[in-house]
Amino acid sequence: MDAGRPLRIIHCFRSPVGGIFRHVRDLVEEHHAAGHEIGILCDSSTGGAHEEKLFEAILPKLSLGLTRLPIRRSISPSDLAALYRSYRHIKSLRPDVLHGHGAKGGVVARLIGSGLRVNRYCVARLYSPHGGSLHYDRAKLSGQVVLRLERFQERLTDSLVFVCDYERRTYAAKVGTPRTASQVILNGISDTEFSPVPAAPDAADFLYIGMMRDLKGPDVFIDAFARTERARGRPLAAVMVGDGPDKERYQETMTRLGLGRRIRMLDAMPATQAFALARTVIVPSRAEAMPYIVLEALAAEKPLIASRVGGIAEVLGSDSRALAIPGDAADLSARMVETMTEPGWQAEVMPKPEAFRATFSASVMARDMLALYRSLQRNAPAKLS
């Protein structure tokens, strides 16, 4: 992948759950294989047994270590203490690159990187929003504050990195046209994941897999499932896989609607394991950037229905019949019914595997990211200008 000297790269993010954590793990895998030294700094208060197993798997590849400390979702006074501890630790590692992911990770990477610049360390400072603060509404006071902070932090940023063109356009619309360098580098998945995952003999009809919070649409999935049952005139089966703050509320909703026996709710597990549990994958998010679960499902050659949010249309095609109106359970249900009643739906609607693989590969993503790291690190001044 690279013929230059090994780089010392540290990824900073808050929650080791979901797409950001997946993105970072893929970069760690690819860049470690290319001989670079990698470290991670993230929150210690989120994640469960599934995430601990993921950390165990990549820990041997983190030559710069894994640092976990409390990082709250919202801004709080404790952030200052965490930031100071992070600065002292990262300074001792002498990184070439600090890459912040998500709003909180972006703050940590850019403030610490700028502090290192003041002390004449040559370090590149990158920020990938991954949706994050871009989900805020400019019309609300909270949104104005967050988005103005994003604008201010451009002064401390050597490059913005967007995971899809939708994210780039959203940033320009909400924050403003970037005043620093920016680049779109599409999310990608590893070569080993491009393999069909057939449904088990006793597989359910539909699968939801992801965070259990309203932003990701589990409530829309439950509503759409009930509507699909009524439309088909018979009981169906579904599986919901994941963890999150609203999980208990969704379980209560299923019980109230009498769906508790027909929708199984399971803890987080590897996506390929979950894919075998059902025939069709549903991604009912209200907001996304470029969700990995869409890429993983297509690589596994699963039929997929997803909300028309974020960069999903860049994967499925802007006119795809697999795209549902965000938050609209009736529209989602209509598409779920189509998958059950139209022969050849998957072959007609899903992207062709060969073209999909050529575009959304982790090796291509990591190669382009490394080229950006090298370019910025070479041009990083010895002190903050």
Assign 70 a pLDDT band (cuts: 50, 70, 90).
confident
- Give the residue with greater pLDDT, 85 vs 231: 231
Structure tokens at 95: 């990184």
Q: How far does CA 215 lie from the centroid of its chain?
A: 13
Give CA–CA dist 299/210, Å, rounded: 17
Q: Is the pLDDT of residue 382 over 60?
A: no
Residues 295-333: tens digit of each pLDDT: 999 999 999 999 999 899 999 999 999 999 999 999 999
Average pLDDT of the residues in 142-157: 95
From the centroid of its chain, how far is CA 18?
A: 5
Angle between helices 78-93 and 102-118 (to 10 degrees): 60
pLDDT score of 288: 86
Question: What does the pLDDT read at residue 385?
Answer: 40
CATH number belonging to domain 192-359? 3.40.50.2000
pLDDT at 2 (0 to 100): 57
Question: Residue 143 and residue 235: Cα distance in Å, rounded?
Answer: 43
pLDDT tens readout for residues 158-193 = 999 999 999 999 999 999 999 999 999 999 999 889
Alpha-carbon distance of 205 to 344, in angstroms, equals: 16
Write out pLDDT tens, residues 11-29. Answer: 999 888 878 999 999 999 9
Give pTM, 2 decimals: 0.81
| pLDDT classification of 200: cutoffs 50, 70, 90 | very high
Is the confidence at residue 73, as pLDDT, over 90? no
Q: Which of 338, 288, 278 is nearest to 311 (CA)?
A: 288
How many CB atoms are located within 10 Å of the residue 34 CB? 17
For the chain, give the mean pLDDT. Answer: 92
Other beta carbons within 10 angstroms of residue 241's beta carbon come to 23
At a CB cut-off of 8 Å and minimum separation 6, what does 248 contact? Answer: none
Each residue's pLDDT tens digit, 111-126: 999 999 887 788 999 9
Angle at Cα 118 formed by Cα 117 and Cα 121, nearest 5°?
40
Q: What is the pLDDT of residues 234-285, one digit of tens each?
A: 999 999 999 988 999 999 999 999 999 999 999 999 999 999 999 999 999 9
The order of strands in the sheet holding 97-101 is 66-69, 37-43, 8-12, 97-101, 124-128, 159-162, 181-184
CATH architecture label of 8-188+361-379: 3-Layer(aba) Sandwich (3.40)
Give the Cα separation of 103 and 150 in Å (integer): 8
Measure the N-to-C terminal CA separation of the chain; round to a whole number of Å.
32
Domain limits, the chain: 8-188+361-379, 192-359
pLDDT at position 384, please?
42
Write out the two tokens for 133.
């603060």
CA–CA separation, 331 and 341 (whole Å):
16
